[in-house]
Amino acid sequence: MTLPLTGVRVLDLSRVLAGPLVGQMLGDLGAEVIKIERPEVGDDSRNYGPPFLKDDHGVKTGESGFYLSANRNKQSVTVDLSTLQGQDIVRRLALQSDVVIENFRVGALAKFGLGYARLAALNPRLVYLSITGYGQTGEMAHRPGYDAIFQAIGGHMAVTGAPDELSGGGPMRSGLSLVDILTSLYASIAVLAALNHRDRHPAKQGQYIDLALLDSMVAALSHRGMQYLISGKASPRRGNVGAGGSPSGAFRCADGLIVLTVGNDSQWLRFCSAIERPDLAADQRLATAVKRIENREVLSPTLEAMFLERDRAHWLAILERADIPCGPVNELDEVFADPQVRQRGMTVPVSHPLSAALTLIANPIHYSATPLDRYRPPPTLGEHTESVLSGLLGMNESEISALRAARVI
């Protein structure tokens, strides 16, 4: 059975996270993805450890967990882009590709003759994705940046964390590389839409995609950003307290935290019945969702004291029977042991060239007709150099050997 993007070829010149995640997503969907890496060094993220994958004998390899998270379903080809021969190899590969992904600083690839203008002149059908920190325009376009910088500049830290007046309060970054991940999702959508436009348009013309991490973060502010735009006021940080109802947030039980959200008045009545507190249901200060939000200081201390009396399993069982949205605050070992996570197949075992037992996080997309069941392990550095150069570019053994001797590959 073919996958949705079978027949699409992607040339992935990117490294670290945002760009590689795009290539991985397209590869999961069935595209052939050729990852270009620096000879001997490879993608910077190969060294982003510990931890590193251990081989079948328990010996640490050079494959970091960071790299393994973003590079499955790809072929690795080593090419030195600073050499004329290396640049020629990439241009020849681009001539046979549908998509190019790159996340170099503005103008860097153009100096090597690998910018959009040059490659599109060779292959007008090419969809060329450039991911940068600040975009291709604006006064900050040439500045470098990493995920945490854009969480700060783009407002995510301003809306994340506990209120200033609480101990430990203040803006806080996400524990995930959230901006890179969000940008990769916007980028994947953009590439798919551009391919659709190309293939439906009579001219069959590709196009250039300019995507910035900062722009992606600002766009992801979503309702919090919109609330500011219509009110002129920044909504306060609430820590683990939800904004969509009350009670809503994290509550400490005798053995750990749970999160719950009572999102409407009918849920509130069921909640009060489940915890056997008819007095709360009768309290007019708490009779509606708006009043419960306005009177959090009345409700929260009561619930905090109550939840501490019993363990998580007790309260979760009660709340689930009452159909109240709730769940435990899981550590990562609990996440991957969770029955629902396991039943949804969110991990997948693969055989890596260096380790027969590698577990990857699965793609969450479930198609009915074209299930995403191809999980090729992230490649070792340069694993497919010879097969790609011979198979796609028609190079013979002596040509490849000469390139290797010259350290072009």
- Is residue 260 within 8 Å of 272, Cβ to Cβ? no
CA-CA distance, 200 to 281, in Å (whole number)? 58
Q: List alpha helices for 257-368, DSSP H.
A: 265-274, 278-282, 289-294, 296-307, 312-321, 332-337, 339-343
Q: Does residue 180 carry a catalytic annotation?
A: yes
Residue type, 68: L
Give me the residues paired with residue 33 across strands: 10
Residue from 180, 199, 255, 265 carrying the catalytic annotation: 180
CA-CA distance, 284 to 280, in Å (whole number)? 9
Sign of CA dihedral 107, 74, 409, 386: negative
CA-CA distance, 270 to 372, in Å (whole number)? 40
Q: What is the DSSP letter of 138?
A: S
Q: How far is CA 188 from CA 23, 86, 135, 141, 379, in A?
A: 8, 27, 17, 22, 21
Q: How far is CA 18 from CA 182, 208, 225, 356, 361, in A?
A: 8, 17, 23, 28, 17
Backbone angles phi, psi at 156, to 5 degrees: -65, -40
Nearest to 100 by CA among 70, 129, 135: 129
Residue type, 331: E
- Is residue 355 within 8 Å of 61, Cβ to Cβ? yes
Q: Residue 284's CB: how many other CB atoms inside 10 A?
A: 8
Backbone angles phi, psi at 232, to 5 degrees: 75, 5
Catalytic positions: 180
